[in-house]
Amino acid sequence: MELRHLKYFQAVAEELSFSRAARRLRIAQPALSRAVQELERELGAQLIERERRSPRLTPAGAVLLHETGLILERLDEALRRVHRTAKGEEGELRLGYIGPPTRPFLSRLLKEYGRRYPRVTVILEERTPERVWEMVSKGRLSVGLTRPVLAHDALGLQTLLLREEKFCAAVPLDHPWARLNSLPWKKLAGEPLIILARREGAGSHDAIQAACQAAGFAPRVKHMPSLIGTVLQYVESGAGVGVVPESTASKNLTLIPLKPQQTIPLVMVWAKEGDDPAVAAFRGMVREWLRDGKLWE
């Protein structure tokens, strides 16, 4: 059975006239009659009574007309979905991200993406930098917004630099340093420091250690929690001085840029293979916003 057989039968069944159906389909009437007969032979059932002056549907024909309408309607919707998917207008985007560095833009970006591509399902997963890279490399995430990690070259992912963030000292609002515009790294010597654990952010951890060594001292690390929120909590409680990227925000703390400037990148990562149109559309939006200065308004 061919799809044209169903379309030809539908036209005859709706017109109840072979001649009108042939004109509607723009084919010769004998060809239309043969196609309906082929369909009847294949189904082993008479679909149209031809003995009368005006053809009529048999009970089997009435059932097939109803089912054909559903089949062709479903096919049309399937084709529309294929076209939308090919243009990135339908599909799924699984986005992995790290929290604080993406807060200035992520909600605005996703809102605009949802406006442009309302049929794409967006699934968000907040993870550590290492976990984001791992999940993207294994195809469990479509794209990631994260920090570079030690093994990033080996994972073979594509990257786009979004920002270089300066490191800052985080102190309570009543701290003696709170009014400073900048702070030398060497001033941290001997201070109890709160930094993110290496297993959760090797790039950040190693950059801080290297900056302290370059300033001539070994950092006195008091706590190394797994979450940046816990780093802030320790600092708010007076446990020590936090060393965090500038995107880390807290109304109860002051962030003081450290000199000489030491930065840590924020990047977008994705796999080289399997360029899904919905994912490509998201990456295109990120590039567009980065180019137009909208990412960091």
Q: What is the pLDDT of residues 223-269, one digit of tens each?
A: 999 888 899 999 999 999 999 999 887 889 999 999 999 999 999 99
pLDDT per residue over 190-209, tens digit each? 999 999 988 777 788 889 99
Pairing of strands 183-184, 253-259: parallel
pLDDT per residue over 102-116, tens digit each? 998 999 999 999 999
The stretches of the chain forming alpha helices (DSSP H) are 3-15, 18-25, 29-43, 59-86, 99-102, 106-116, 129-137, 152-155, 202-214, 228-236, 277-292
Q: Of all helices (H) and strands (E), which one includes residue 167?
A: strand 158-172
Distance, CA of 221 to CA of 191 (rounded, Å): 8
What is the structure's pLDDT at 65? 87
pLDDT per residue over 86-98, tens digit each? 665 668 899 999 9
CA neighbours closer than 13 Å in the CB half-sphere of residue 89: 8
| Cis preceding linkage at 260, omega within 30 | yes
Mean pLDDT of the chain, nearest integer: 88
What is the structure's pLDDT at 245? 93
Residue 84's pLDDT band (cuts 50, 70, 90) = low
What is the structure's pLDDT at 25? 85
What is the structure's pLDDT at 153? 66
**Cross-strand partners of 221:** 193
Distance, CA of 295 to CA of 289 (rounded, Å): 5
